[in-house]
A and B are shown apart, each in its own frame.
Chain A
Amino acid sequence: MKPIIQVNNLRKTFKIYHNHKGFFGAIRNLFDRKYDLIHAVDNISFEVYPGELVGYIGPNGAGKSTTIKMLTGLLVPTNGEINVNGYLPWKERKDYVKDIGAVFGQRTTLWWDLPLTDSFDLLKHIYDIPHDVFQKNFHLFNEILGLDEFIRTPVRSLSLGQRMRADLCAALLHNPSLVFLDEPTIGLDVVAKQRIRDFIQFINQEKGTTILLTTHDLSDVAKLCERVMIIDHGKILFDGNLNSLLQEFGGSRQLSVEFTEFYPQPLLTNAAIIQRNGNKVVYSFEREVVSASNLINELSDHYRIKDLEVRDQPIEDTIRRIYEDRLLYN
């Protein structure tokens, strides 16, 4: 299969200018400006295949948005190659954007003063969407996103959650083969988040739309993506299966046990006690060293157990460890 996105040694360098202050400074700025070079995206390469739903994550300023902006044709790369859907995004912009969709969580792509339904009509015209396709898609999306209740409201009066649902619908009405979702759940409550995740999953599975999802919210990634790319300081730190990432960097797991009676030293061979409170004891163990079931067997052989629970390190902690420890830097 041919990749739908192909990126080779992509780099974007920004010049950050230091301005002189004041009136004469402004004039000086015209002739003499000092600047720093910032490699927002530093020599990255990856491929995305049709039908994939890839999570693209990284801390603030890591280069996520810059990558997306180059992929969508908003920014011209400094170096490197991008091929999306057979197009060079920034150069063949007008033809290229016909077959992609994009949602930027921070801002709407809809017309601020228009009622939602007028915005959709305008999109129908702009993308030249056949009437039956438009109707079919709208009804389908409406069912999941529930747009009816605010379809006549101008976009400026919508709540953040409503606006995001509207934006998602708008980005997909023309059946794009590839969609970029940049922070689609930012600032939303749990219910709204779930609705949007359901929709993303539906689009990916039912329509086979390729999705590149940028997010801060790692539970989005955990729920939706099999493949995850982690970027930091403009470099891709990890690109692969989410489970194998957790396996490798998931760190220690925890086993908390409540005994029926008090044991002064309930020791285990391959786990350390990290906390105890009366009959309750929390152990920590490494997944490579011992399995949870072995530990439980060992416990039940020697002690009487009332209750127990096994916990993984939260995915946030795992990713944070990767950022902080630069575990993946060579």
Chain B
Amino acid sequence: MQRAFSTLKRLLSIQIRSQLQYPLSFIMDVIGNALILGFYFIAFTFALSQFEGISGWTLGEVAFIWGITEFSFGVMDMLFSGFDYDSFGPVIRKGRFDQMLLRPVNITLQVLGSRFVLRRLGKVLEGLLIFIFGLSQLDIHWTLIKILYVPVLSISQVLFFGSLFIIGATTTFWTMERLEILNIFTYGGSEIMSYPMHIFPRPIRLIFTFLVPAIFLSYFPAVFILGKSDPLHAPKFVSFIAPLVAVLMMFLALRFWHYGIRNYQSTGS
């Protein structure tokens, strides 16, 4: 296992080195990316300033979940780049997956190591800035549990989004057609998680509770950390099950992934 991780480290360092060949252009790229993404939030703040927050949530509170969700998604998008449909599709089509299967290294780690898009730091940076902005606007009653729960929540979100990426990549074993519907859950999921979820109509909320349990990874934990009242009247413990949900999702995604590999049919000759 230790060997496998040192291999992963090598594979990643190759990726990073090649992407840092032109450091200045890289830094500009990251900052530019952060700004472009950030404008979206700035527009949102102007819109929101016309109202008294949304459904009882202030701008700072929305910035809090928006920021942490963007941050986590950015980190995930970097770590799990190899499972991104746009890069894993060609890996299958060009037969590079065959090469990976011929190496005596854990296949999941090889896919993780096959791509690492450092540019996603732009999104990470943007998320971080919005999160900090949120904190500056808020007067949270911090306790030790809340302080510890913030990083745990972010890691859980990374795992959660990562599991959705893995599920998306796995579908390529059966169909080369892009399944747009899966984007509703990954990218759509991250959008929805950026808002307090009680504002959405019931059908959408139900989808993102029972089909893709996104609500446990942003709204309910935020209700606890920010000390909000919950108009959905969910039991208190659901605020704390984010890590459990994330680990379960990742477990199921990896099961599906291995099932997919068993059914892999390789390509041409």
Contact = CB atoms under 8 A, between A and B. Distances in A.
Nearest to A65: B269
A69 B98 CA distance: 9
Contact of A126 (B7, B14, B94, B265): B7
A122 B8 CA distance: 11
Given A75-B265, A126-B7, A94 B105 contact: yes
Interface residues of A, number: 35
Contacts of B137: none
B258 to A, nearest CB: 12
A102 B7 contact: no
A26 interface: yes
Nearest to B105: A126
B10 interface: yes
Interface string B1-41: 00100110011001000100000000000000000000000
A72 interface: yes
Contacts of B7: 125-126
B102 A74 contact: yes
Given A26-B177, A74-B266, A93 B95 contact: no
B229 interface: no
Interface in A23-67: 26, 29, 60, 64-65
A24 to B, nearest CB: 14
Given A114-B14, A125-B10, A73 B101 contact: yes
B18 A113 contact: yes
B106 interface: yes
B101 to A, nearest CB: 5
14 contacts: A65-B268, A74-B98, A75-B265, A76-B262, A93-B101, A97-B101, A97-B104, A107-B94, A107-B98, A109-B102, A113-B14, A126-B7, A126-B103, A182-B269
Given A74-B264, A97-B103, A127-B104, 14 more contacts: A73-B101, A74-B102, A75-B264, A76-B262, A94-B104, A95-B104, A97-B104, A107-B96, A107-B98, A113-B14, A122-B10, A125-B7, A125-B10, A128-B3
